[in-house]
Structure formats: C-alpha cells, structure tokens
Amino acid sequence: MRKTTRKFPEARLEGIGACQGVAIGTAFLVDDPRGRVVRVYLPAEQVDAEVARFYQAVRIAQLQVQEAIERLQAALGAERAYILESHLLMLQDRSLGEQIEAFIRENHANAEWAVRDVTAQLLDVYAKITDDYLRERGSDIADVSHRIIKILSGSKMRDLNDLANGAIIVADDLLPSVAADLDPAKVLGFVTNGGGWASHTSIIARSLGIPSVVGVKNVAAVVRSGETIIIDGATGAVISNPSPETLRFYSEQRARQQQQQIFDIEERELPAITLDGIEVNLRANIELIEEIEAFRRFNASGVGLYRSEFLYSQAATGLPTEEDQFEAYKFLAEMSGRDGAVIRTFDLGGDKLHLEGFKPERNPALGLRAIRLSLVVQDIFRTQIRAILRAANQADGNARLKILLPFVSNLDEVREAKRIIAEVEKELRQQRVPHAEDVEIGVMIEVPAAVILAEPLAREADFFSLGTNDLTQSMLAVDRGNENVNSLFDPLHPAVLRAIKYVAEAAARMQIKINVCGEMASNPAQVLVLLGLGLKDLSMTPSAIPAIRRLVRSINMSAAENIASQVIALATPAEVHRYLQSHVPHLGAPFLTSAQLSKSTA
C-alpha cells in the first residue's frame, strides 16, 4: 500500500461510533454515496500514464457528443443540437483540460478525482452567478464532468471491496446498500460525514461488524487518501497520520478487543436470566442472509427482525423473484433456532432502498414507504407473501416464520394487508401449492399514530414490535441520519420513554406479545430501562448480544423496574442521562458515544 510522500501532523476528529472496534488502515476517499469516484494516490511513475488516460477519455467523450449531435440534427433539425454543441466546446477547451492535467500532476491524483475536483470548483463559481441563463450553464459543466468520469471508471460502479487490503473508506456519505456490499475481510472500516447512530448505514455496519464512525464533520476535507488512519467505533475517535505512540495505544486496544471476542463466545451458552430469576429473550436482527452465521455465533434464540428489503440490494436484477425470496425465507426458517424468524415485509423507501420507477421524494421519511408502498404496488407485496407462506410450510411447522408489517400508521393498512394475505393463502390453496396458513401477523409500532392507537391495533395484530429508531425519529421530529441533529436523536427522551411505556401497557392489557427490535435493544443502559418498563423480548444486532446477556445476568429485575419508574418521571433527556450515569455508571454511556452524551447533558 502506498503512502503520501508528504507527511502531515496527527489530526483528531470525533463523530458517533456506529460499530464498535478499532481499525487501523489506509484511508481511501470516496466521492459519492454510491462509491463511484474514489481518490487514489498515484506513484510518480504512473502520473504520465494517468494524464494520457484522461485525454483519451476526453477524446472518447468528444466522439460521443459529436455522434449525439449528428443524431439530434437528423431527427430534430440543427437548432436543437445547440446544448450538445456547448458540451463539445467545453470538451475542446484547452484551458479546462490543462487545469485537470495540472491537478493530476501536482496531487498525484487519479483522473476521475481530478475531473471531479476541478469541475466542482468551477461549479461553485457558477452557483454564485446572478444571471439566470449563465448560472444554468453550470448544469452543462456537471453533465460533461459526469460523462468523462463515466468513461474513465467504466459504466459500472466501482466495487469498494477492490480498493486494496486494509482500506478504510472515508466518504461524505454511504448508501445502506453500498455498505451492505462491503466485505469485512477486505474493507477494515469506514468513516462518514453524514449519518447517525440509528441510520441504516450504521445498522448495516454493526451487522457486518465493520468498525465505523459516522457524523464526523468535514472528514473528507481533513483526511487525505493514502494516509494511515485509525478509527475507534466505540468512542467515535478518528485519527489520521497517527504518531507512533497513538499507533501503539490503538494496536493494544485492538488486541484487547480480540481477547474480549473470545470471552464472548465462551459465555454464549449461559442463560439470559436476571439474578432474581426472570428470563429475557435475546433475538437477532438480520439484514443479510449471511449474517445467520453471526446469529449462531452469539446464540440468539431466533431472528426477531429480518429486514427483507435488503434482498433488493442482493438480487441480480434489482427485484428479488418469488423463488429468490422463497429460498431466503426457507433458509431463515430452518436456521433461526428455537423462536424462528420474523420476516418484516419490504420497508422500501425512506433512507433505505428505492423502487425503480418511483421519483425521489421531497420528504422520504414521511413518504410512500414500507406498508404504504406495499399496498400501492400490490404485485410485489403478493409475491413476497406467497414466498413467505410457502417457506413457512417448510421445516417443522408454521410457527417458525411470522410476518411483520412496517410503518403502520392506520388500522386500515393492517386490515388491507390481512385481506391480501388471506387472498394469497386462498390462491395457494387453489393451486395446491404447499404453504402455511394462520401465520402470525405482527405490527411495527414506530410512528406516534400507532402508539396512540395501540389498543385497537392490538385487536388486529398477533404481536407488536417496537421500532424505536423510527419511533424516536417521528416522536422527536429528528432525522435519524442527519449529522446536524445527531445530539437531538435520543431514545431516552422522556417523550419516547412514555410512548414505549404506553404501548407496553396496552399490549399487556390486550394480552398480545410485544418485543423491541429498534437499536435501543443493543445498548446496555437503554436495555436496563426497557426491561424496567416490562419489555423482556429484545431483538438486536447480533454482536450486541454478549453485552446484553452479561447485563441481564448481572441485574435484579426489581432494580430495573425501580430505575425505569424513576426515569419515566423525569422531564428532560439530560436528567435521564444524568440519572443513569450516576446510578449505573458501569454500563457506560446510555448512548455509545461520549459526544452525544456531553452535548445532551451540557
């Protein structure tokens, strides 16, 4: 691996630790959330060839544009081709080409990065122009830049796993689907400017066990590709160009963590029972089928949440077929241990994956997502239900798979979904396709309307699953992935705690089962409060299971109830944090980062 020839002093940044673990590697800057443009630092002997590669791409772009102009002229007449003619002029502009060449030579940059950087500077200038017509020309520059980058990098997206062994990705943001494709054996970790503890990219990082830090302001401006970088996913620390002492300190930390992982495995058979004999159910959240390995390693009693929408990022065509899904669900049914698996129907939209053919929305968190989308594109929903009902018939009995409906805000959505499920059952019966009937149907409680309507919803549902990530987002009106409001995203906010208590009591009154599948269930201090509120069925990121098992085995349920009754009476998040810090300091920060805590208690 190559290092920069320039040596910069150690720089320290801080963000939110998304996945615990220390990683020490080489920084790779990645330009866009899809991971298309990566900053590569070139050795001196490759610079001439890179310049030649750039000019070759410009020539190809010129030919492409020339051809397009001829096609347009033939079809629509000469005057319609003027926009593309301006693109051609730009591609022929010697001074622009020379600026990009100079950037490559001075910075030992790869051509993609140089094009992106130089044109971004130009775009900044254009954005400030007051004349509307001239300002609009900025979009032509962006277009030409995009064309050259596409030629340089090929039309395919760059596979971030091919960067180099020991790479740590540094990006403004990464899409959850891109994070889901990372191979932890190749990519040691990632750092992003955007994101929060409960954003889907962070959830994926925890599932894969990739150390990561998110919400690090300006990280892509401070860290350079090729530099040595350390990230500590427990504290949120990011250090570039570490001194020898810093390197030694973090190498020791990493060794200690590896030792802890061995203890975790040794303790996995111990029952999750409190000191006063109350059993707590520990299940796992799974996004990728391969994670079933981690699920087994940590000895979860079942899969409490399978985020089935991630099948979209894994399917070859973008749309998982009934057979793709049947195989995945059957595998889960067979492998998911005592309690089987809860298949959440596609939670597409929001900050997750998007369905081809739907325009990006202005406010996706409140948009056409999850159950709403399933009820609009019913074919996709029906196919999914067919696959689940068929798979539920496998292994030893129907109870092994359950259906969970995401983002319910209205009783009618549940009724409509149940009507469709009954129709699919009937169709399978008529077609004599082996399938299960009477599969349990659960409702996710993750928006305030569902909290308030918990009692009537309980009449429609077989069980509730508390999605504390979206619940926190929607109760507090705080975007779970927005770094500017990270310190406000707080599941221990008294409003969230009171909502949880309200739902837990409604479920108890109505005698339906309830579990928690949001990220609260992965944090020891938060779990203590959940247990005290009566929530004893928890589904979490698999790697959190050892710490939660240890917590359960170390407490009395009566003490947890006492703590919960105290914090529920408090009025501000800061008071809740202070209470927990003073009464159960050994559990660590109620959040996994000191950054969030210091802000909320300041």
Positions in the binding site for ligand PEP (CB under 6 A): 203, 305, 307, 347, 446, 467-470, 517-518
User: Contacting Mg ion (CB under 5 A), which of 467, 481, 524, 532?
Assistant: 467
Report whether 246 contacts 12 (CB < 8 A): no
Q: 517 catalytic, yes or no?
A: yes
Provide the residue type at 407 as one letter: F
Q: Which residue's CB is nearer to Mg ion, number 119 or number 465?
A: 465
The minimum distance between CB 469 and Mg ion, in angstroms, equals 5
> Which residues share a beta bridge with 465?
444, 515
User: Contacting Mg ion (CB under 5 A), which of 112, 287, 470, 519?
Assistant: 470
Give, for 282, the enclosing helix (H) or strand (E). Answer: strand 281-286
Burial classification of residue 590, based on how many CB atoms lie within 10 Å of its CB (0-12 exposed, 13-18 middle, 19 or more buried)? buried
Alpha carbon distance 218, 241 (integer Å): 16
Which residue shows structure tokens 């409003």? 495
Q: 19 catalytic, yes or no?
A: no
How many beta carbons lie within 10 A of that of residue 47, not counting itself? 17
Q: Which residue's CB is nearer to ligand PEP, number 518 or number 532?
A: 518
Alpha carbon distance 214, 352 (integer Å): 17
Catalytic one among 87, 493, 517, 577?
Answer: 517
- Binding residues for Mg ion, rule CB under 5 A, total 3
Q: Which residue's CB is nearer to Mg ion, number 50 or number 446?
A: 446
> Which residues share a beta bridge with 284?
303, 540
Catalytic one among 87, 108, 200, 577?
Answer: 200
Q: Which residue's CB is nearer to ligand PEP, number 15 or number 491?
A: 491
Report whether 553 contacts 275 (CB < 8 A): yes
Report whether 178 contacts 33 (CB < 8 A): yes
Q: In the range 272-331, which residues lie near Mg ion by CB under 5 A?
A: none
The minimum distance between CB 339 and ligand PEP, in angstroms, equals 17
Q: Which residue's CB is nearer to Mg ion, number 170 or number 404?
A: 404
- If we measure between CA atoms, which residue out of 383, 441, 439 comes closest to residue 413? 441
Q: Which residue's CB is nearer to ligand PEP, number 106 or number 290?
A: 290
Alpha carbon distance 87, 93 (integer Å): 10
Alpha carbon distance 520, 500 (integer Å): 11
Q: In the range 408-447, which residues lie near Mg ion by CB under 5 A?
A: 446
| Rg for the chain, CA atoms, rounded | 26
- If we measure between CA atoms, which residue out of 287, 274, 281 comes closest to residue 299? 281
DSSP for 413-466, written as a single string: HHHHHHHHHHHHHHHHHHTT----SS--EEEEE-SHHHHHTHHHHHHH-SEEEE
Among the listed ranges 55-63, 212-220, 242-250, 460-468, the one in contact with Mg ion (CB under 5 A) is: 460-468
The minimum distance between CB 439 and Mg ion, in angstroms, equals 21
The minimum distance between CB 288 and ligand PEP, in angstroms, equals 13
Alpha carbon distance 216, 274 (integer Å): 38
424 touches, from ligand PEP, Mg ion, none (C-beta below 5 to 8 Å by class): none
Alpha carbon distance 460, 389 (integer Å): 19
- If we measure between CA atoms, which residue out of 68, 369, 22 comes closest to residue 209? 22
Q: Which residue's CB is nearer to ligand PEP, number 101 or number 446?
A: 446
The minimum distance between CB 303 and Mg ion, in angstroms, equals 16
The minimum distance between CB 526 and ligand PEP, in angstroms, equals 12
- If we measure between CA atoms, which residue out of 156, 162, 147, 155 comes closest to residue 115? 147
Report whether 558 contacts 552 (CB < 8 A): no
Q: Which residue's CB is nearer to ligand PEP, number 188 or number 496?
A: 496
Q: At what angle do helices 378-392 and 411-430 cross, to 10 degrees?
A: 60
Q: Which residues are at the interface with Mg ion (CB under 5 A)?
A: 446, 467, 470
Residue positions annotated with a catalytic role: 200, 517
